[in-house]
Amino acid sequence: ISSPLIAPSILAADFARLGEEVAAIEKAGADWVHLDVMDGHFVPNISFGPAIVKALRPHSKLPFDVHLMIEPVDPYLEAFASAGADHITVHAEAGPHLHRSLQAIQALGVKAGVSLCPATPPEALSEVLDIVDLILVMSVNPGFGGQKFLHSQLRKISTLRGMIKSSGKSIRLAVDGGIDPETAPLATAAGADVLIAGSAVYGREDYAAAIRALRNSN
């Protein structure tokens, strides 16, 4: 098994120095930059929008993995694509037409991701696997960093890994929320191949050591 990709979430970074913070994780060995967009409606918190994504774009060559916790999503997809998103992930729960949203993302030339909240079963994705490039399993309820990992989500990760295998497609399977060197090996053993981590990277002094600790934890 190859080592998982590490995607630090800038939600836990110093917002007054975001450009430097994004450059710092690239230097520290991160694979993707994870950008959490929250609207105060789909989730009970507000973070940032496409203007920030655009402003950060020149500060990193890494893929920008944009996680949209917003509802509705369709009116904003183009803005995030032109701001420099390489992947756009929408929530299956954000509706009303998940299939249409995923088609729209791919039509913009961006990789299409879909995320599931803890209460949503893996079967919710059975009819969209053919138009999905990335699945993101939330291992906390979306809205805030620094929450405790929900072990109940491990079974969902294994089920999704099985569904991906039978689809024959190379779909990335990411886990997001409460990932640290203790929980990371559980998620990768269940089948995750992308680890998204906020506090476990930006909350540490040494970003390179923090990223190494996550990558080598399995």
Q: Pick one of 176, 191, 214, 215: the residue that binds ligand DX5 (CB under 6 A).
A: 176
User: Interaction with ligand DX5 in 41-70: which residues (CB under 6 A)?
Assistant: 67
Complex with ligand DX5: residue 122 or 142, whichever CB lies closer: 142
* 67 binding Zn ion? (CB under 5 A): yes
Q: Please tell me whether 177 is known to bind a ligand.
A: yes
From ligand DX5, Zn ion, none, which one binds at residue 143 (CB under 5 to 8 Å depending on kind)? ligand DX5
The yes-or-no answer on residue 193 being catalytic is: no
Q: Which range in 19-27, 49-57, 87-95, 175-183 contacts ligand DX5 by CB under 6 A?
A: 175-183
Which residues inside 66-85 make contact with ligand DX5, applying CB under 6 A?
A: 67
Among 65, 176, 180, 193, indicate the residue that binds Zn ion (CB under 5 A): 176
DSSP string for the chain: -PPPEEEEBGGGS-GGGHHHHHHHHHHTT-S-EEEEEEBSSSSS-B---HHHHHHHGGG--S-EEEEEE-SS-GGGHHHHHHHT-SEEEEEGGG-S-HHHHHHHHHHTTSEEEEEE-TTS-GGGGTTTGGG-SEEEEESS-TT-SSPPP-GGGHHHHHHHHHHHHHHT---EEEEESS--TTTHHHHHHHT--EEEESHHHHTSS-HHHHHHHHHT--
CB of 7 to ligand DX5, least distance (A): 9
Catalytic, 86? Answer no
State whether the Cα torsion 105-95-66-79 is positive or negative. Answer: positive
**Which residue from 139, 156, 211, 154 is spatially nearest to 186, judged by alpha carbons?**
154
User: Is 41 flagged in the annotation as binding?
Assistant: no
Q: Does residue 215 touch ligand DX5 according to CB under 6 A?
A: no
The residue range among 37-45, 66-74, 91-99, 127-135 that interacts with Zn ion, by the rule CB under 5 A, is 66-74
Nearer to ligand DX5, 49 or 103 (CB): 49
Q: Which chain residues interact with ligand DX5 by CB under 6 A?
A: 9, 11-12, 34, 36, 67, 140, 142-143, 145-147, 176-179, 196-200
